Amino acid sequence: MTDLTYLPDRTALEAAGLGVEHRRGWALRDCSFRIPAGRICALVGPNGAGKSTLLSLAAGLRRPTTGALHVFGGARPSDRAARPRIGYVAQDKPLYPHLTVGETLRVGEELNPATWDWATAERIVAAGDLPPAARIGSLSGGQRTRVALALALGKRPELLLLDEPLSDLDPLVRHEMTAELMSAAAEHATTVVMASHVLAELDGVCDYLLLVADGRIRLAGEVEDLLSVHSLVMGRHEAEGLPREFTGHTVVESRVTGRQITALLRTDGPVAGEWEVAEPSLEELLLAHLRSPDAPPLLTPGAEPRMNVPAPKEAV
């Protein structure tokens, strides 16, 4: 293990005033956030929230309409020097169907001569019992995903962008791939940004979170910090409306079942009264925010961008 793991002062990905307009409207609007190097960041949000758009910008495949997105503390993702340092696995995992598994890995080596890690790429492919002579076109969806992840991790990128990488993998392979991602982050300080809808599987894997809804950042920061400022509060529901003890806290979501009220509060100090109070799990935090898109956004101090925000309408 190197001493590069967890680098709070180094920035892997940073956006300020970022917006992307498609023909049908804005996919991302006024997004500002920062992801420090060495983190495993979950990128979560409803269908159509803008996750894939954000990842394709970070991969340098498109330009913002407004604002800026920088990698590695100041470079544009499309810069010649930045591109080899970024790995990207798109949602549809494009590979050449007529190539074999072995040929695909050799292309990986040719494209990334300086960093290619044969041991990692071969280990991932071999763990799936994929013969090097098998054609990509003859593989199942999950097997193709394994090859795409072997290519991406074999490149040894500093920033690895994964668009729903686990969705077509069986539970054992998900475990195995999650372990590969965690070990890349721990041993090589790889920053992983992973779009996912599988909330239960993010807990314990991701230490950083970006929640996007309707093209805007709703939550950003260290998972630990975000959890610690929220409380799951349960108790008797005595009267109409919200209990007066909730005043002074931000109510993200509240639900009444019979005479019981359960609420997720963004707390500013202890909640007065007779309440059962617990820290939410990551899944509970995410579900409450996904159900309450109007809750005020929250960026922890470490997630505030450090770059200058460009003037409105200016894309950098």
Ligand X SMILES: Nc1ncnc2c1ncn2[C@@H]1O[C@H](COP(=O)(O)OP(=O)(O)OP(=O)(O)O)[C@@H](O)[C@H]1O
Per the CB < 8 A criterion, the answer to whether 252 and 230 are in contact is: yes
CA–CA gap between residue 290 and residue 309 (Å, rounded):
27
- Min separation Cβ 23 and ligand X, Å: 5
Site for ligand X contains 146 (CB under 6 A): no
Report the sign of the C-alpha dihedral through residues 74, 76, 80, 86, in that order. positive
Token look-up 């500093």 returns 158
Does 167 bind ligand X (CB under 6 A)? Our answer is no
Give the nearer residue to ligand X in terms of CB position, either 62 or 76. 62
* Residue 292 found at the interface with ligand X (CB under 6 A): no
Eight-state DSSP code of residue 200? G
Question: Which 11-70 positions form the footprint of ligand X (CB under 6 A)?
Answer: 22-24, 27, 45, 47-53
Shortest Å distance, C-beta 90 to ligand X: 11
Nearest to 10 by CA among 95, 50, 57, 70: 70
Verify binding: residue 217, ligand X, rule CB under 6 A: no
Counting contacts by CB under 6 A, is residue 193 touching ligand X? no
Give the interface size with ligand X as a residue count (CB under 6 A): 12
Q: Please, which residue, 47 or 247, has the CB nearer to ligand X?
A: 47
Nearer to ligand X, 12 or 49 (CB): 49
Residues in the chain, total: 316
Q: Is 184 in the site for ligand X (CB under 6 A)?
A: no
CA 174 and chain centroid, separation: 16
Q: How far apart are CA 13 and CA 307, in angstroms?
A: 11
Structure tokens at 159: 């920033």
Nearer to ligand X, 18 or 49 (CB): 49
DSSP for residue 315: B
Does position 313 interact with ligand X (CB under 6 A)? The reply is: no
Determine, following the binding rule CB under 6 A, whether residue 293 of this chain makes contact with ligand X: no
Nearer to ligand X, 271 or 290 (CB): 290
CA distance 71 to 55: 12
Binding to ligand X by residue 161, rule CB under 6 A?
A: no
Interface residues with ligand X (CB under 6 A) are 22-24, 27, 45, 47-53
